[in-house]
Amino acid sequence: MKRDRSRAILKANCRYIPGGVVSVNRAAKPEIVFVRGRGAYLWDADGNRYIDYHAAFAPHFLGHNDPYVSEAVARVLAREESLYGSGTTEAEGRLAELICRAAPSVESVQLLNSGSEATYQAIRLARAITGREHIIVIQGGYNGWHNEVSCNVMTPIETLGPRVSPGEYPYAGMSAGVPESHKKLVHVVNFNDLDSVEFVCRRQPVAALITEPVLQNIGILKPKAGYLAGLRQMADQHGFLLIFDEVKTGFRHAPGGYAAICGVNPDLTVYGKAVANGYPLAVLGGRREWMEYFVHPDPSRRVLLAGTYNAHPVPTAAAIATIERLTENGGEVYRHVESLGQRIEEGIHGILRAAGLTGLVARQGSAFCIYFMDHEPVDWHDIAANHPFALDEALRREMIERGIYAFPLATKQWSISAAHTAADVDATLEAFEEALAAAGAAAARA
């Protein structure tokens, strides 16, 4: 594929942006500059078209520039609605009500701009409520960029050491500049491992455990039966708050998030991404009694929450329109993406079998990942030990050359949107068959 224009733009941007790309996790090879997105498709600066499964790290659940959402945004601008920064608005009240009605454990919400802000506030709120400082996070989970949580996602096993249970892993660190005093308060345990949570709780007074209910930053890693209910029980027993980070799972899997699917009620929940279909909005919600700490009558117990852009009318309108679309026709969108998910899963399994290769699709509704393993992974150690990363990345690059865009980093989630069609899936499967053969050869050469 021709990429001259993309390369020229990146080169020019390097003059004023370190590395040439903002949000450094977006830097990817091949270096492609996208200029347009509609529905399931992206176009780059050189005019190449791609079927998109990256969805900008997952928010575009309805597809790019969904017309219903775009119209809602256009109406806000046409009516000259603005950001007022004083008092409330009808729109923020309407959005809050829609979210509380959708999510069984959410009685009250605050609106923020990004998932990281919302997880930051969730942890601070839990500390204020419990009067404790230690938190538990999950190996292989991603909860944002701030000090407490930017610790362990795809940490190499050489750094982590072997799987331990019960026990905790060192704070491996994804960023320089995190104070040692912060690291001491963070305890990283394995997903699907209740014994390690117990291990930490016996040694430290824990304020909160934060977890994605399905780990979706290392592909698709599902909770074992009883694991999330076990976390709920331990939270009640040890007095910590259970925080579900549903930034990826919320609204993509059900309007009430994964909590509505698994039937476990966390104390606090964070949403982002799919809630506004690509516009910058995040939500922190939970039991009313906890959320009231933001307006606690005792100033020494009150938690500060402030943000110039919180509930900006554009993303707020986008979120309202998104939730309306997700809930119309009895949740037709979810049935559509599930049928496409099944189609791609069956197709990939058939191609892998025909090629005599070990591998499978791990899938939760519209989100999936291909692992070249003989079983669905149970935790990060399982993936790190058994999944061939070089083959995964070679496959993604070969797919991109055939007009199918999944982010070219091993184990990153593939996201189907409501705008994808059966024909898109069939074109993807055709490309997959060719790409697999080409990637196998490339990985073998490497």
Ligand X SMILES: Cc1ncc(COP(=O)(O)O)c(C=O)c1O
Query: Footprint of ligand X on this chain (CB under 6 A)?
Result: 57, 114-116, 119, 142-144, 212, 217, 245, 247-248, 272
Q: Which is nearer to ligand X, 144 or 313 (CB)?
A: 144
User: Is the preceding peptide bond at 255 cis, omega within 30 degrees of 0?
Assistant: no
Compute CA distances 35 → 45, 198, 336, whole Å.
6, 49, 28
In the complex, the smallest distance separating the C-beta of residue 118 from ligand X, rounded to whole angstroms, is: 8
Residue pair 381/162 in contact (Cβ under 8 Å)? The answer is yes
In the complex, the smallest distance separating the C-beta of residue 307 from ligand X, rounded to whole angstroms, is: 13
412 is catalytic: no
User: Is the preceding peptide bond at 179 cis, omega within 30 degrees of 0?
Assistant: no
44 is catalytic: no
Q: List the Cα angle 374/151/124 in 5-degree steps.
A: 120
Residue pair 251/274 in contact (Cβ under 8 Å)? The answer is yes
Q: Which is nearer to ligand X, 208 or 431 (CB)?
A: 208
Task: Give the active site residue among 273, 334, 371, 392.
Answer: 273
In the complex, the smallest distance separating the C-beta of residue 337 from ligand X, rounded to whole angstroms, is: 18
In the complex, the smallest distance separating the C-beta of residue 212 from ligand X, rounded to whole angstroms, is: 5
Which position has the token pair 């930053």?
217
Q: Between β-strands 268-271 and 367-371, what pairing exists: parallel, antiparallel or unpaired?
A: unpaired
Q: Which is nearer to ligand X, 254 or 348 (CB)?
A: 254
Q: Between β-strands 206-211 and 134-138, what pairing exists: parallel, antiparallel or unpaired?
A: parallel
In the complex, the smallest distance separating the C-beta of residue 413 from ligand X, rounded to whole angstroms, is: 9
Task: Give the active site residue among 50, 53, 120, 142.
Answer: 142
Residue nearest to ligand X (CB): 115
Residue pair 294/50 in contact (Cβ under 8 Å)? The answer is no
- Extract the tokens encoding 42: 């992206």
Residue pair 277/163 in contact (Cβ under 8 Å)? The answer is no
The amino acid that residue 79 corresponds to is R
Residue pair 28/56 in contact (Cβ under 8 Å)? The answer is no
In the complex, the smallest distance separating the C-beta of residue 31 from ligand X, rounded to whole angstroms, is: 21
Q: How far apart (Å, rounded) are the C-alpha atoms in residues 249 and 214?
A: 7
Q: What is the DSSP string of 165-178?
A: SSS-B----SSTT-
- Extract the tokens encoding 360: 């499978």
- Extract the tokens encoding 292: 């009231």
The amino acid that residue 283 corresponds to is V
405 is catalytic: no
Q: How far apart (Å, rounded) are the C-alpha atoms in residues 234 and 237?
A: 5
In the complex, the smallest distance separating the C-beta of residue 245 from ligand X, rounded to whole angstroms, is: 5
Bridge partners (DSSP) listed for residue 52: 405
User: In terms of Cα–Cα distance, which of 45, 27, 28, 26 is closest to 37?
Assistant: 45
Task: Give the active site residue among 44, 66, 193, 245.
Answer: 245
Residue pair 225/116 in contact (Cβ under 8 Å)? The answer is no
Element at 443 (helix H, strand E): helix 422-445
Q: Which is nearer to ligand X, 39 or 140 (CB)?
A: 140
In the complex, the smallest distance separating the C-beta of residue 327 from ligand X, rounded to whole angstroms, is: 23
Q: Which residues are catalytic?
A: 142, 245, 273
